[in-house]
Chains A and B, each alone.
Chain A
């Protein structure tokens, strides 16, 4: 018993480097083992797709604001790719923009990939408006006018020469606004643009940031939410079920690492508590 208590005392003050190594091992293992996990779509994810289906039935194009950089690419990229397949598979048109300079070059690559898969034509099927600074002002301003904030698109073409932009003057002329972001931009969209102008708004965020948006889901200011890598994995499953994706993508592949990391953290919490209680007995 005494031996146990000494061990407990040591565990209470466990060096955090031990925790780090354990997490590292847990995250690394699934990449070498052929373990497969699947996610079951939750309510928010289904809501997200339902709202998108509604938008896909309209004639108006979809506006997608992509705001994530290389830092969070592992978590956000699968989500965006699933969404792009969803939009372009159904033959819908979409306008893209970003408020993050480092997002521009990845977006060009994703869109080029889509162009070759679905045989899209730039300017007619999709447009990339490029980077805009002063996000809050632009988000608000787009409710009145696109041309006041974007004179040319990412390739330097004036907006009025793009067939897709002919009928798009303001946010009233898009069917839904979707923000795939690793930062607080969905909140700014809601505060600065959804509230004054009133349109359907969907968001995809990192897992860390997602909890912030549940209140907005309830008030309807947000129509659907993809929450982090897990939300993306759920969406992949949903799209596979609907026959839009051929197989699950990177988000589903990441579930293994995520699950094992969570198990490790839970294990440490358990150890910490057991050790704490044993140690408390000793202190008495």
Chain B
């Protein structure tokens, strides 16, 4: 019996809360909106616990790697050390402007991430080089429209070749937007299906337990 309750309870919670969130969208009355406000406010402290989960996640993986001395376990020591150091300086000296924590963030983490972001320019170039080839009629259309849009982005070109900005704007606003809307409508319907399946409990992958 206890097992059955434990198994069914998550579905019940999902169904009740899912239905509540659905209904509240149409009812502005405070009987519905006040509890909703309360739920939203509860969400904020709950976010804190998610961070705890993340820390536990990283720690377990890397401690296990070091303990078993798996390949490249040296990096795991660096990861754990860096995490411990950030947590320590954050708690010991604070996180405001001018503290060690903020400096490490500004001068270590930020430049590393900015480097990754700037890699995009290189990857865009190499992906475009390989992919934009007129292999078929539709690929040729893609190639031509991509070329027009890119040319229009270059001021020296768009200011000297007439109509290119207009054609590029047309491509972006009409064919491009129409296709996007179609995809967006499909995505919305798909999302509603998943939500409905979750609410009525058809979708069980996420809460599956031992083949049940």
Interface residues of A (CB under 8 A from B): 14, 16, 19-20, 22-24, 27, 37-40, 42-43, 69-74, 102, 105, 108, 133-134, 137, 140-141, 144, 148, 208, 211-212, 214-215, 218, 230, 233, 255, 258-259, 261-266, 268-269, 271-273, 276-277
Q: Which residue of A lies closest to B178 (CB)?
A: A215
A247 vs chain B, min Cβ distance (A): 17
Q: Which B residues are in CB contact (< 8 Å) with A215?
A: 177, 180-181, 184
Total A-B Cβ pairs within 8 A: 127
Would you call A38 and B155 a contact (CB within 8 A)? yes
| A and B contact pairs by CB, cutoff 8 A, 21 listed | A20-B126, A40-B165, A70-B106, A70-B113, A71-B113, A105-B97, A133-B44, A133-B47, A134-B43, A140-B40, A144-B33, A211-B172, A214-B173, A233-B155, A258-B153, A259-B155, A262-B150, A265-B128, A268-B129, A271-B129, A276-B133
Contacts of B41 in A (CB 8 A): 148
Contact yes or no, A268 B125, CB < 8 A: yes
Instruction: Name the interface residues of B114-134: CB closer than 8 Å to any CB of A.
Output: 114, 116-117, 120-122, 124-126, 128-130, 132-134
One of B40, B111, B147 near A141 (C-beta < 8 A): B40
**Interface on chain B toward A: helix, strand, loop, or mixed SS?**
helix
- A112–B177 Cα gap in the complex (Å)? 40
The total of chain B residues at the interface (CB under 8 A) is 50
Measured CB to CB, the closest approach of chain B to A213, in angstroms, equals 10
Chain A residues contacting B125 (CB-CB under 8 Å) are 19-20, 22-23, 261, 264-265, 268
In whole angstroms, how far apart are the Cα atoms of A40 and B159 in the complex?
8
Which B residues lie at the A interface, using CB under 8 A? 33, 37, 40-41, 43-44, 47, 97, 102, 105-106, 110-111, 113-114, 116-117, 120-122, 124-126, 128-130, 132-135, 143, 146-147, 150-151, 153-156, 158-159, 165, 169, 172-173, 176-177, 180-181, 184
